[in-house]
């Protein structure tokens, strides 16, 4: 693990970019690339509070530098940015409980899914789209911010905070660290679910399906625009779309087929036109949904799975269509041992990454054991080496 000291950071950066891009293109890189959700773990590792990490850019970057030096992952999970309650509302359109304000300093953010958007707001949503619906609901979503609507408009117009993000990005490059994806957007269906609440959305789908379909369709246009905008301003051509409520863990296949699948296809197609790879961040059990994803063009997506989905079926159905990532989960990294982590990671490499097309990703929570994360990274860098 001496890459940090002995290699020129720019060389290292290029090597890592190539490794990742090769895997995404379903080709065989030198070894399995490995990444980790460092933003959830690193602050605890360095022993500062979550509150300090999320509000102080200098401290956040200090923590990240230490993390990358010690762990040597192949990329930053996403663009480092301090918490901005206004900016966050775009991807998390719900009430948010924040460490230091509503929760203890060392806690994690919690999203409160509630009926912020009322049934009667559907017509407005269909007419005006996602951002204007969001602006309309802002006083309910961020009641603690005075004059919230004009501040939000100002943020959108002047791209507040973008200079800081740009300088963080430059710093990562100095350290030889590429960025895995541009800060994730949630899918139109998932944001609607956050705004209506899961239970209300279920009832809406059964009682007024057309309204839901029309709203998702309209929201999709705004979300595509923002996703592409984020890629263009950052120069990163991988955009993550959070698919939190689309799987069989939340909705039936019929609902998926009618509402979610057309939305996913539209986003992927729009990204393809801009040479952007879509990372489908798939929460929950996607096993029954997998066959639908064969309809997406080959080599244009990465599917990021958790341990609810059957990896053997995922391989059989999708390995010739898209790159896999994910599946080293929080519980294993916390309660497991280095040996258990190694065994699991070897299985992942054997199943999902036999000839490339797999990016190992650890979901590391604050209390993960550092030795377990190191075991994951070591396995990718040793067992994950492909023979020339």
Partner 1 sequence: MKNSLFDAFVELREDDTLNIIKDMLKSGEDSNYIAEICKQALIKIGDLFARKEYFLSELVMSGEIFKEVMALLEQNMQIGDLPSKKIGKVLIGTIEGDIHDLGKNIVKNALEGNGFEVYDIGVDVSPDVFVEKVKEIEPDILGMSCLISIGWDALKDTIDALKEAGIRDKVKIILGGGGVDNEVANFAGADAAVKDAIKGVEQCKKWVSG
Q: Which is nearer to partner 1, 127 or 207 (CB)?
A: 207
Using the contact rule CB under 8 A, the part of the chain among 7-15, 202-210, 230-238, 313-321 near partner 1 is: 202-210
Whether the CB-CB separation of 250 and 194 falls below 8 Å is answered with no
Q: Which is nearer to partner 1, 199 or 371 (CB)?
A: 199
Whole-angstrom CA distances from 300 to 172, 247, 365 are 26, 20, 29
Q: Which is nearer to partner 1, 241 or 259 (CB)?
A: 259
Residues 357-386 that bind partner 1 (CB under 8 A): 365-367
Pattern 98-117, partner 1, x by CB under 8 A: -----xx--xx-x-xx----
Any residues with CB less than 8 A from the CB of 256 and at least 6 apart, and which? 246, 247, 248, 289, 292
Q: What is the DSSP letter of 289?
A: G
Whether the CB-CB separation of 363 and 333 falls below 8 Å is answered with yes
What DSSP letter does each residue of 187-252 carry, written as one string? PHHHHHHHHH-HHHHHHHHHH-HHHHHHHHHHHHHHHHHHHHHHHHHHT--EEEEEESS-STTTS-
Number of amino acids touching partner 1 (CB under 8 A): 31
Structure tokens at 366: 């604050």
Interaction between residue 199 and partner 1 (CB under 8 A):
yes
Q: Which is nearer to partner 1, 113 or 121 (CB)?
A: 113
What DSSP letter does each residue of 134-158 carry, written as one string? HHHHHHHHSTTSTTHHHHHHHHHHH
Residues 37-66 that bind partner 1 (CB under 8 A): none
Using the contact rule CB under 8 A, the part of the chain among 171-179, 291-299, 331-339, 350-358 near partner 1 is: 331-339
Q: Cα(209)–Cα(192) distance, rounded to whole angstroms? A: 13
Q: Which is nearer to partner 1, 227 or 372 (CB)?
A: 372
Interaction between residue 160 and partner 1 (CB under 8 A):
no
Among 17, 62, 156, 202, binds partner 1 (CB under 8 A): 202
Q: Return residues touching partner 1 (CB under 8 A).
A: 97, 103-104, 107-108, 110, 112-113, 197-199, 202-203, 205-207, 248-253, 255, 288, 330-331, 334-335, 365-367
């Amino acid at each position: 693990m001496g890459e940090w000291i002995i290699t020129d950071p720019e060389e290292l950066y290029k090597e890592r970019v190539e490794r990742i891009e090769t895997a995404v293109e379903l080709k065989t890189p030198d070894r399995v690339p490995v990444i980790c959700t460092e933003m959830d773990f690193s602050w605890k590792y360095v022993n500062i509070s979550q509150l300090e990490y999320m509000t102080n850019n200098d401290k956040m970057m200090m923590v990240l530098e230490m993390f990358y030096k010690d762990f040597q992952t192949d990329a930053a999970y996403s663009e480092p940015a301090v918490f901005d309650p206004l900016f966050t509302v775009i991807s998390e359109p719900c009430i948010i409980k924040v460490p230091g304000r509503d929760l203890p300093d060392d806690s994690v953010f919690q999203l409160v899914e509630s009926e912020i958007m009322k049934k009667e707001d559907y017509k407005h949503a269909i007419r005006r789209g996602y951002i204007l619906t969001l602006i309309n609901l802002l006083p309910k979503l961020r009641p603690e911010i005075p004059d919230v609507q004009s501040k939000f408009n100002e943020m959108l117009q002047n791209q507040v905070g973008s200079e800081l993000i740009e300088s963080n990005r430059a710093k990562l490059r100095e350290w030889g660290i590429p960025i895995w994806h541009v800060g994730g957007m949630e899918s139109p269906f998932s944001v609607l679910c956050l705004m209506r609440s899961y239970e209300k959305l279920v009832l809406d789908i059964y009682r007024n399906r057309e309204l839901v379909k029309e709203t998702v369709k309209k929201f999709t246009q705004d979300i595509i625009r923002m996703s592409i905008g984020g890629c263009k301003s950052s120069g990163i051509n991988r955009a993550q779309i959070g698919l939190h409520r689309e799987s069989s863990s939340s909705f039936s296949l019929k609902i998926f087929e009618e509402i979610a699948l057309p939305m996913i296809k539209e986003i992927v197609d729009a990204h393809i036109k801009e040479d952007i790879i879509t990372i489908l961040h798939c929460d929950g059990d996607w096993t029954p949904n997998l066959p639908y994803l064969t309809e997406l063009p080959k080599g244009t997506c990465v599917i990021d799975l958790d341990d609810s989905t059957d990896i053997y079926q995922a391989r059989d159905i999708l390995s010739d269509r898209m790159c896999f990532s994910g599946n080293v989960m929080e519980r294993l990294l916390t309660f497991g041992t280095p040996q258990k982590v190694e065994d699991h990671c070897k299985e992942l490499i054997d199943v999902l990454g036999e000839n490339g097309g797999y990016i190992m990703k650890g979901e590391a929570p604050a209390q993960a054991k550092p030795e377990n994360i190191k075991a994951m990274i070591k396995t990718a860098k040793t067992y994950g080496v492909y023979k020339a």
